[in-house]
Structure 1
Amino acid sequence: MYNYLEYGSSDAPRNHEDPEQYDRFMARIEAGEKIEADDWMPDDYRQGLIKLISMHGISEIMGALPEKEWVPKAPTLKRKLGIMAKVQDEMGHGQLLLRVAEDLMKPYGKTRKDLIENLLSGDLKFHNVFHMPTKTWADAGMVGWLVDGAAIISQTNMLDASYGPYQRALQRICQEEVFHAQHGEAIIMALAEGSDHQREILQESLNRWWPSLLMFFGPASADTTGSSKQDIMIKYKIRKSNNEELRQAFLDKYLPRVFSLGLTVPDETVHYDEEQGQWVYQQPDWDEFKQIIKNKGPRSKERLRLRQIAYENNSWVRQALSKEVVGS
């Protein structure tokens, strides 16, 4: 939820200058009412939602690609069917979220097509974890168990979001993500209970994914990268917790599970500080994070190229639908 998209202020309907209208808007939010797509909303509320939801939607689509690589290589038919179903779910989540974002973009004359083109041009970013390679079958489990586990923590934090269409979409998405996490956990448990070689593969996978998992929630404050919009999202009751609170919730939930499997994390400083009431850990390389979300990660170019090929190969479908709409 960082740098995803920016429509210039000159394109925005300047609707935030009426203080009475703004006060009524805030009173609705404070009362727990849901804002709908056709309702009046301040510019920074609309802009923040477009960035958040478009990045979320695109990340669901791009996030299917690392696991898609393992569909033909899954070790059993059961595993193949499971990961195929998960990939289909993630693509469906992306389509659902891009429709939600599209409604917010109407005042700018933008559509889902613009979002895909912004992704391919590098203007719309996708989540840092989906720039990473999936080298082994353990990585497929790691994505389901810990990456989707982190996503559940992030998304359930917004289950009561003030923007109704997003809140309702999250209700469905989170239910399906729980199954995805269970799918990943089943893979992890099978490897953890397997041979010494399987456990070595599992530990190696965790070592590689650990920095990306810490980066998942973004920097603790805007000062780190200058791009965090978490304060605005909390102000408008889109989300409840800040980035560090979400990261601590992830560590609270998953570090005990990791240790219970006899696994370790590649950070000798990790420990729970009783006085502070939180986990102490070594900060990831936030400069590397900034490079990754600029599409300079290990698999950024390959994944964007796959998306480009799919977009080009299916252009005839968009053209046919466009002609059908015009003809009707």
Structure 2
Amino acid sequence: DGKQKYSSIFNYPTLTFADVGVIGWLVDGAAIANQVPLCRSSFGPYARAMVRICKEESFHQRQGYELLMHLMAGTPAQREMVQDATNRWWWPSLMMFGPPDADSPNTKQSMAWRIKRHTNDELRQRFVDMSVPQAEALGVTLPDPALRWDPERGQHEFGEIDWAEFKRVVSGQGPCNAERIVHRKAAHDKGEWVREAAVAYAAKQAS
């Protein structure tokens, strides 16, 4: 229908240099957890594109984590900055997997067609289980007092996500939604001459 969309995670502000590293670690890490299974999607073009995308995202994730390792080896102020960024980005990263399976409008059909190989909740659980030891190695505390290891399940239990916040953000009421749309419209307007030039060139080539 010609409409553009972007990930809801971009509706949160980046406040400090540590955000760059935490976004690489958590946000790109969540993207990888989401996208790696899509490399085996039933839709071939999508699956092939995901192979290339995942390679790029993996670089971003490693780059972000390495940046954080350097900051955590720095001054107390730098370590505090990393912890603050982790506190702000942890829950939005968990929201990147989409609503819980019971409330997801697309998961059932996507699973039936094997476009998706795992549900939102399954992928979210994998991400939590991967992130906990990474946080421990980094020396930061994930901002969830309910987070604990369940030996019977062999998984981490974690607290309830604020789904009201998730709905606000995806409906356009997030911290930076309006600002992001203004920037996108400005970029589109500034690129009008490029589109016009491309159309003129195509017409000239066809004549």
TM tier, smaller: over 0.9
Q: Report which stretch shifted further, 213-222 or 159-168.
A: 213-222
Q: Aligned residue for 2:197?
A: 320
Which secondary structure state, in structure 1, belongs to the residue aligned with residue 38 of structure 2? coil
Q: TM-score, normalised by structure 1?
A: 0.60
Q: Aligned residue for 2:72?
A: 192
Ranges in structure 1 where 5+ consecutive residues have no aligned partner: 1-109
Query: Which of 215, 220, 235 is residue 112 of structure 2 equivalent to?
Result: 235
% same residue: 40
Deviation at 1:222, TM superposition (A): 4.0
- In structure 1, what residue type is equivalent to 2:82? L
Q: Aligned residue for 2:33?
A: 153
Query: Which of 120, 123, 131 is residue 246 of structure 1 equivalent to?
Result: 123
- In structure 1, what residue type is equivalent to 2:177? S
CA distance in 1, matches of 2:8, 2:20: 16
Q: Aligned residue for 1:170?
A: 50
Query: Which of 14, 17, 34 is residue 134 of structure 1 equivalent to?
Result: 14
Which secondary structure state, in structure 1, belongs to the residue aligned with residue 186 of structure 2? helix
Deviation at 1:277, TM superposition (A): 2.6
2:160 aligned with 1:280? no
- In structure 2, what residue type is equivalent to 1:323? A
Q: TM-score, normalised by structure 2?
A: 0.94
2:143 aligned with 1:266? yes
Q: Aligned residue for 2:85?
A: 205
2:162 aligned with 1:289? no
CA distance in 2, matches of 1:264, 1:161: 35
CA distance in 2, matches of 1:295, 1:187: 31
Deviation at 1:162, TM superposition (A): 1.2
- In structure 2, what residue type is equivalent to 1:157? P
Deviation at 1:279, TM superposition (A): 1.6
Query: Any conservation in 1 of the 2:25–2:61 contact (CA below 8 Å)?
Result: yes
Ranges in structure 2 where 5+ consecutive residues have no aligned partner: none
Alignment size in residue pairs: 205
CA RMSD of aligned residues (A): 1.3
Which secondary structure state, in structure 1, belongs to the residue aligned with residue 118 of structure 2? coil
Query: Any conservation in 2 of the 1:147–1:213 contact (CA below 8 Å)?
Result: yes
Q: Report which stretch shifted further, 272-281 or 181-190.
A: 272-281
CA distance in 1, matches of 2:183, 2:8: 17
Which secondary structure state, in structure 2, belongs to the residue aligned with residue 157 of structure 1? helix
Deviation at 1:221, TM superposition (A): 1.7
- In structure 1, what residue type is equivalent to 2:154? G
CA distance in 1, matches of 2:98, 2:149: 21
Deviation at 1:228, TM superposition (A): 3.1
Q: Aligned residue for 2:185?
A: 308
Deviation at 1:146, TM superposition (A): 1.0
Deviation at 1:289, TM superposition (A): 0.3
Query: Which of 60, 63, 67 is residue 183 of structure 1 equivalent to?
Result: 63
Superposed structure 1 runs of 4+ greater than 3 Å apart: none
CA distance in 1, matches of 2:107, 2:39: 16
Deviation per CA, 1:280-323: give whole Å up to 9, x if none: 11111101101101121111111111111110011011111112
